[in-house]
Amino acid sequence: MAEKLQIGKLAEATGTKVETIRWYEKVGLIAPPARTGGNYRAYSPDDLARLSFIRRARDLGFSLDQVRALLDLATDPGRDCGSVDELTTGHLAEVDRKIADLTALRRELAILLTSCRGGTVSDCRILEAFGPSTAQAE
Amino acid sequence: MAEKLQIGKLAEATGTKVETIRWYEKVGLIAPPARTGGNYRAYSPDDLARLSFIRRARDLGFSLDQVRALLDLATDPGRDCGSVDELTTGHLAEVDRKIADLTALRRELAILLTSCRGGTVSDCRILEAFGPSTAQAE
DNA sequence: CTTGACCCTCTAGCGACTACAGGGTGCATA
DNA sequence: TATGCACCCTGTAGTCGCTAGAGGGTCAAG
């Protein structure tokens, strides 16, 4: 048997919080590990590899459902690699869409900011841009 | 007295879902409106203006807490406009950070994709990039 | 008098965690 | 042996900004 890791060590090794690991177990992303006599979770190097995979995919912005799909693909070596490419391409498109949205937002905010010349709220051009009648009693 | 709006009309006029309006009321973003005999919410044009303000700010990506702050500022005409500028500047910086993060992500994903040459999962370069030992039994 | 569109309250769910509260374990040190 | 401390356990509730549903009431038209 290979050496076992306590949850804290696994957390440290993968840059994950302990609670997050327990949560991944709860939602079925990692299997419930063996337990010690004192009921501590005891993880194997395989668990370390799986969690590293998960974290890497999460860092790349994949959702947990997408991670699940990637794990399924990864554990089935005969499967067509095209599915992985597809998933990644879809995710890339999503990221592109978010960047475009944020860039449009950024432009609007920048325009708003150029209109601020100080003074009081009553003649604030930023607030003006928010609606026809901004000031209103509570 | 000005004409009153039912919640559905207010929703339509502001592009908001009915449930969202009730939720804004619950979290104190808009005041509980008058009620009709049948216990229906009856909104004034002032409410319409306030909700429009809220939606506009939300569309610009401000959080509800930030919207609350903006509303507080907007209802206090003597206040220094600089606070509004500050809030907006901070938000813009946040948006810039998100764009930078997503752009870095995008680059990584694009690199990953160029490495896919088809074939089976066992020699998939994308999955390889996810960890030292990707394939693992459940 | 019934149909249908609208409204009401209350509760639970989404994603992906995070943060307790209230306890047990294991090891070192006095 | 006692005690302190770091670590672990379970379970629940909170975060953000809604969204969806159950189970009912209101109102105007046909």
Full DSSP string of B27-59: TTSSPPPEE-TTS-EEB-HHHHHHHHHHHHHHH
pLDDT: which is higher, B117 or B7 = B7
CATH number, span B1-62: 1.10.1660.10
Query: How far is B38 from chain A, CA to nearest CA, in Å?
Result: 25
What is the spatial distance between Cα B68 and Cα B54, in angstroms, rounded to a whole number? 9
- Burial of A102 (C-beta count, 10 Å sphere; 0-12/13-18/19+): buried
Segment A30-58 shows an average pLDDT of 96
Distance A21 CA to D12 C1' (A): 18
The answer to whether the C-beta of B28 is closer than 7 A to strand D is no
Inter-chain residue contact B127 with A103, CB threshold 8 Å: no
Whose CA is closest to B109, among A119, A32, A70? Answer: A70
B33 neighbors B66 (Cβ within 8 angstroms): no
Output the pLDDT for position B128. 73
For residue range B34-66, list pLDDT tens digits in order.
Answer: 999 999 999 999 999 999 999 999 999 999 999
Inter-chain residue contact B81 with A106, CB threshold 8 Å: no
CATH number, span A1-60: 1.10.1660.10
For residue range B63-115, list pLDDT tens digits in order.
Answer: 999 999 999 888 877 777 788 888 999 999 999 999 999 999 999 899 888 87
What is the spatial distance between Cα A55 and Cα A58, in angstroms, rounded to a whole number? 5
Q: How confident is the model at residue B137 (pLDDT cuts 50, 70, 90)?
A: very low
B66 neighbors B58 (Cβ within 8 angstroms): no
For residue range A52-111, list pLDDT tens digits in order.
Answer: 999 999 999 999 999 999 998 888 777 777 888 889 999 999 999 999 999 999 998 998
Domain ranges of chain A: 1-60, 80-132
